[in-house]
Amino acid sequence: SATTTPSSPATSTSTESDSAPSNYIQSPGYPQSYSNNVNMEEIVTVAEGKVILFTWVDFDLESHSSCAFDHVSVVEYIQETEKVIIPKSCGLFPLFSSFTSKTNEVVIRFKTDGSVTKKGFCLEYEAVDPEDFVVNTIS
Protein backbone atom coordinates (compact mmCIF):
# COMPACT_ATOMS: atom_id res chain seq x y z
CA SER A 1 0.00 0.00 0.00
CA ALA A 2 1.19 3.51 -0.74
CA THR A 3 2.63 5.34 2.22
CA THR A 4 1.68 8.98 2.54
CA THR A 5 4.28 11.11 4.20
CA PRO A 6 2.77 13.68 6.53
CA SER A 7 3.36 17.19 5.29
CA SER A 8 6.16 18.80 7.20
CA PRO A 9 5.13 21.56 9.62
CA ALA A 10 5.36 25.02 8.14
CA THR A 11 8.61 26.67 9.03
CA SER A 12 7.39 30.19 8.43
CA THR A 13 7.75 32.48 11.42
CA SER A 14 4.20 33.75 11.42
CA THR A 15 3.09 35.36 14.63
CA GLU A 16 -0.27 34.88 16.26
CA SER A 17 -1.67 38.07 14.76
CA ASP A 18 -0.84 36.90 11.24
CA SER A 19 -3.31 34.06 11.57
CA ALA A 20 -6.18 36.45 12.21
CA PRO A 21 -8.09 37.24 9.03
CA SER A 22 -7.00 40.57 7.61
CA ASN A 23 -9.85 42.93 6.97
CA TYR A 24 -9.16 46.00 4.91
CA ILE A 25 -11.12 48.88 3.49
CA GLN A 26 -9.27 50.54 0.64
CA SER A 27 -9.84 53.42 -1.71
CA PRO A 28 -10.88 52.20 -5.17
CA GLY A 29 -7.85 51.08 -7.18
CA TYR A 30 -5.50 51.02 -4.18
CA PRO A 31 -2.48 50.88 -4.21
CA GLN A 32 -2.79 52.65 -7.54
CA SER A 33 -4.22 56.16 -7.50
CA TYR A 34 -7.93 56.56 -6.93
CA SER A 35 -10.12 58.13 -9.62
CA ASN A 36 -11.77 61.51 -9.84
CA ASN A 37 -15.40 61.94 -8.81
CA VAL A 38 -15.51 58.94 -6.48
CA ASN A 39 -18.41 58.74 -4.06
CA MET A 40 -17.87 55.60 -2.05
CA GLU A 41 -19.65 54.39 1.05
CA GLU A 42 -18.48 51.19 2.72
CA ILE A 43 -20.31 49.68 5.65
CA VAL A 44 -18.29 47.59 8.10
CA THR A 45 -20.32 45.34 10.38
CA VAL A 46 -19.00 42.98 13.03
CA ALA A 47 -20.77 40.66 15.45
CA GLU A 48 -23.29 42.07 17.93
CA GLY A 49 -21.65 43.12 21.16
CA LYS A 50 -18.30 43.78 19.51
CA VAL A 51 -16.81 47.12 18.54
CA ILE A 52 -14.41 47.84 15.69
CA LEU A 53 -10.77 48.75 16.08
CA PHE A 54 -9.44 50.56 13.00
CA THR A 55 -5.82 51.21 12.09
CA TRP A 56 -4.67 53.30 9.12
CA VAL A 57 -2.16 51.29 7.10
CA ASP A 58 -1.72 53.92 4.42
CA PHE A 59 -3.06 57.43 3.91
CA ASP A 60 -2.42 59.82 1.01
CA LEU A 61 -5.23 62.08 -0.17
CA GLU A 62 -5.18 65.43 -1.94
CA SER A 63 -4.36 68.01 0.70
CA HIS A 64 -6.56 71.00 1.55
CA SER A 65 -6.94 73.06 4.72
CA SER A 66 -10.54 71.98 5.18
CA CYS A 67 -10.34 68.81 3.04
CA ALA A 68 -12.82 70.28 0.57
CA PHE A 69 -11.49 68.35 -2.44
CA ASP A 70 -10.85 64.71 -1.56
CA HIS A 71 -11.64 63.29 1.85
CA VAL A 72 -12.45 60.22 3.86
CA SER A 73 -14.67 60.27 6.93
CA VAL A 74 -15.97 57.63 9.32
CA VAL A 75 -19.35 57.74 11.04
CA GLU A 76 -21.61 55.44 13.03
CA TYR A 77 -25.24 55.64 14.12
CA ILE A 78 -26.07 55.73 17.81
CA GLN A 79 -29.80 55.61 18.46
CA GLU A 80 -30.36 56.57 14.81
CA THR A 81 -28.23 59.70 15.21
CA GLU A 82 -25.15 60.02 13.04
CA LYS A 83 -22.00 60.39 15.13
CA VAL A 84 -18.72 61.35 13.49
CA ILE A 85 -15.81 59.13 14.55
CA ILE A 86 -13.28 60.58 12.10
CA PRO A 87 -14.19 63.92 10.52
CA LYS A 88 -13.32 64.64 6.89
CA SER A 89 -9.61 63.86 6.61
CA CYS A 90 -7.09 64.37 3.82
CA GLY A 91 -3.41 64.99 3.16
CA LEU A 92 -0.74 62.59 4.38
CA PHE A 93 -1.60 62.22 8.05
CA PRO A 94 -4.95 61.04 9.39
CA LEU A 95 -6.20 62.52 12.64
CA PHE A 96 -5.52 59.36 14.64
CA SER A 97 -3.34 56.42 13.68
CA SER A 98 -6.01 54.12 15.11
CA PHE A 99 -9.51 54.53 16.49
CA THR A 100 -12.36 52.46 17.86
CA SER A 101 -16.09 52.58 17.21
CA LYS A 102 -18.72 52.52 19.95
CA THR A 103 -21.03 50.21 18.00
CA ASN A 104 -20.65 47.18 15.75
CA GLU A 105 -21.40 49.04 12.51
CA VAL A 106 -19.48 51.87 10.92
CA VAL A 107 -19.76 53.73 7.61
CA ILE A 108 -16.61 54.80 5.78
CA ARG A 109 -17.20 57.55 3.23
CA PHE A 110 -14.72 58.52 0.55
CA LYS A 111 -15.34 61.41 -1.84
CA THR A 112 -13.09 62.89 -4.50
CA ASP A 113 -13.45 65.89 -6.79
CA GLY A 114 -12.71 66.30 -10.49
CA SER A 115 -8.94 66.77 -10.35
CA VAL A 116 -5.75 65.57 -8.62
CA THR A 117 -5.63 61.95 -7.52
CA LYS A 118 -3.33 60.32 -5.00
CA LYS A 119 -2.58 56.83 -3.72
CA GLY A 120 -5.56 56.86 -1.37
CA PHE A 121 -5.97 54.92 1.82
CA CYS A 122 -5.88 51.48 3.34
CA LEU A 123 -7.71 50.98 6.61
CA GLU A 124 -7.41 47.76 8.59
CA TYR A 125 -10.14 46.75 11.01
CA GLU A 126 -10.86 44.05 13.52
CA ALA A 127 -13.69 43.16 15.87
CA VAL A 128 -12.76 43.60 19.52
CA ASP A 129 -14.53 43.46 22.85
CA PRO A 130 -15.64 46.88 24.06
CA GLU A 131 -14.22 46.33 27.52
CA ASP A 132 -10.73 46.18 26.02
CA PHE A 133 -11.07 49.91 25.42
CA VAL A 134 -12.80 51.13 28.54
CA VAL A 135 -11.21 54.37 29.64
CA ASN A 136 -10.65 54.35 33.36
CA THR A 137 -12.04 57.51 34.83
CA ILE A 138 -11.62 58.50 38.45
CA SER A 139 -15.05 59.02 39.91
Please give the pLDDT value at position 132. Answer: 73
Q: What is the pLDDT of residues 53-77, one digit of tens each?
A: 999 999 999 999 999 999 999 999 9
Q: What is the pLDDT of residues 7-38, one digit of tens each?
A: 555 444 444 444 455 799 999 999 999 999 99
Q: What is the pLDDT of residues 80-132, one digit of tens each?
A: 999 999 999 999 988 899 999 999 999 999 999 999 999 999 999 999 999 87
Q: Which of 109, 108, 123, 121 is nearest to 34 (CA)?
A: 121
**Residue 117's CB: how many other CB atoms inside 10 A?**
18
pTM exceeding 0.85: no
